[in-house]
């Protein structure tokens, strides 16, 4: 009974969602479509996305336009996002610290294949994560992705070795320092530049080089450290409920 009510509700919802989506021109240039509906638009007026795309290289000198939007144009939003992640990690640590429930279960020793493979992959994965967040302004990827790759390396080691303990103090100090660096770069922009998180306090450099794009690589490296240590600490907390002290 409950199942059929739910299915009817979902079908009605899906019908209306499909109707709305069907009215949207898929694969068309939406900037041009939007222009037809708005009167009195001269060519000098830039649409937001068009401005990001056309002026992004000139203003930020970062090849990856998604990075220059995430870190520079919408940098304040990213600061909030990092805060959300921090809040989730803190809440999780608080919730799981009271849980002593799974300690009586025996953990099975990991197989030889997993142990050997994770010993080999651990330094390589950390190096790959660092590569991803250092080149965030040139290639696809960035701080969030690189940090997640580093956390996956830590998770692999935790699965393979029962005796692997990441140092929790070091992780939380790294996380705090990276957050402070992000906020300090923003405040430096407020003092010496145009606005909070402004990108005119450092020389922009040449297009498509590693040392370019002003403060964008610095902020993304800080985000990489922050997300990596945060997610590593989160995974360690989740594993801790199975360990006896």
Partner 1 sequence: MFFFASSIALILIGLYAVLVKRNIMKMVIGLSIMDTGVNILIISLGFIRGKTAPIINAKDLLVRTSSKVVDPVPQALVLTAIVIGVAVTAAALSIVMLMYSKKKSLEIEEYKELKW
Rounded distance, CA 175 to CA 225, Å? 7
Helix H or strand E segment including 54? helix 48-60
Let me know: does 223 contact 144? Beta carbons within 8 Å. yes
Q: Cβ of residue 3: shortest distance to partner 1, in angstroms?
A: 5
Give residues 146-165 in contact with partner 1 (rule: CB under 8 A): 148
Q: Report CA dihedral (197, 201, 204, 209) to the nearest 10 degrees.
A: -70
Of 56, 75, 48, residue with least CA distance to 142: 75
Tell me which stretch binds partner 1 (CB under 8 A): 104-112, 138-146, 153-161, 179-187. Answer: 138-146
Q: Cβ of residue 138: shortest distance to partner 1, in angstroms?
A: 7
Phi first, then psi, for residue 240 (nearest 5°) are: -65, -25
Tell me which stretch binds partner 1 (CB under 8 A): 21-29, 163-171, 175-183, 184-192. Answer: 21-29
Q: Does 59 contact partner 1 by CB under 8 A?
A: no
Q: Report CA dihedral (72, 32, 43, 63) to the nearest 10 degrees.
A: 30
Judged by CB under 8 A, the residue of 36, 42, 101, 244 near partner 1 is: 101
Q: Give contact residues for partner 1 (rule: CB under 8 A).
A: 2-3, 6-7, 9-10, 13-14, 17-18, 21-22, 24, 26-31, 48-50, 52-54, 56-57, 63-66, 69-70, 74, 77-78, 81, 84-85, 87-89, 91-92, 95-96, 98-99, 101-102, 138-140, 142, 144, 148, 207-208, 227, 231, 234, 238, 241
């Amino acid at each position: 009974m409950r199942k059929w009510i739910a299915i009817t509700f979902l079908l009605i919802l899906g019908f209306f969602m499909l109707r709305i989506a069907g009215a949207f021109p898929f694969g068309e240039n939406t900037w041009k479509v939007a222009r037809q509906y708005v009167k009195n638009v001269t060519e000098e007026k830039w649409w937001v996305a068009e401005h990001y795309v056309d002026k992004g290289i000139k203003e930020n000198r970062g090849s990856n336009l998604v990075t220059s939007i995430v870190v520079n144009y919408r940098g304040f939003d990213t600061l909030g996002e990092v805060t959300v992640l921090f809040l989730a990690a803190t809440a999780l640590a608080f919730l799981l610290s009271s849980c002593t429930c799974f300690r009586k279960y025996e953990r099975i020793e990991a197989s030889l294949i997993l142990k050997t493979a994770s010993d080999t992959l651990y330094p390589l994965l950390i190096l790959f994560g660092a590569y991803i967040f250092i080149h965030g302004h040139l290639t696809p990827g960035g701080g969030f992705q690189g940090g997640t790759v580093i956390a996956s390396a830590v998770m692999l080691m935790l699965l393979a070795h029962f005796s692997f303990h990441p140092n929790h103090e070091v992780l939380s100090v790294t996380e705090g320092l990276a957050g402070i660096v992000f906020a300090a770069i923003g405040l430096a922009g407020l003092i010496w530049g145009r606005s909070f998180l402004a990108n005119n306090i450092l020389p922009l450099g040449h297009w498509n080089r590693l040392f370019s794009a002003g403060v964008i690589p610095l902020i993304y490296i800080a985000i990489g450290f922050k997300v990596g240590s945060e997610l590593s600490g989160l995974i360690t907390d989740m594993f801790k409920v199975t360990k006896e002290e």
